[in-house]
Amino acid sequence: MDNQIALQPNNPQPFFETLQQEMERVIDRFRFNPMTRDTAFRLGVSGQMVPAIDLSETDDMLEITAEVPGVTKDDIDVTINGELLTLKGEKEDKREEKDKNYRLVERSYGRFQRTIPLGFAPDDEAVTAEFEGGVLKLQIRKPATAKAALRKVEIVDK
């Protein structure tokens, strides 16, 4: 009988039950996953970690700063394929607490990836990367063709 009620198109109950279950899963993921304590990482649509980035642009240069706390430079892979810059790597976190009445050990592990469209294909020598204290800084010099392609669009009042 319950199945018949759930299948009726005018019964909103299955929608709200599904919504509630999904919200509980999201809350549980944040409550029990220590990886989400790092504000520099956020969860993407697929549940994969995505590093936070700052992007600034001048006429000659594109500067990208990515926060990847708890990661070493050997854990990060930076690649450029045509006009796409990809940052990917792995993060492992281990925390241990000891007290008189308990012992807590938490381990978390995750892979991250972020692809950024550059709008131009940089020359091989045009990219520099530095890593310090969980922050990756990239500087990408724009080729002359990318600078020439920039044009101002006039905005008119109506």
Q: Which of 38-42, 69-73, 141-145 has the highest mean pLDDT?
A: 141-145
Higher local confidence (pLDDT), 63 or 100: 63
Long-range contacts of 53-59 (CB under 8 A, 24+ apart): 53/87, 53/114, 53/116, 55/116, 59/142, 59/147, 59/150
pLDDT, residue 35, reads 46
Ranges 3-12, 86-95, 130-139, 144-153: which has the least confidence: 3-12
Give me the CATH code for the 39-148 domain, please.
2.60.40.790
More confident: 41 or 90: 90
Which percentage of the chain shows pLDDT scores above 70?
A: 70
Question: Using one digit for the tens of pLDDT, what is the confidence trace for 52-84?
Answer: 889 998 888 999 999 888 788 888 999 999 999
Domain layout of the chain by residue ranges: 1-32, 39-148
Which pLDDT value is given to residue 139? 95
40/72 Cα distance (integer angstroms): 15
pTM of the model: 0.59
Residue 46: pLDDT band by 50, 70, 90 thresholds? very low
Per residue in 21-35, pLDDT (tens digit) is 777 777 766 655 544
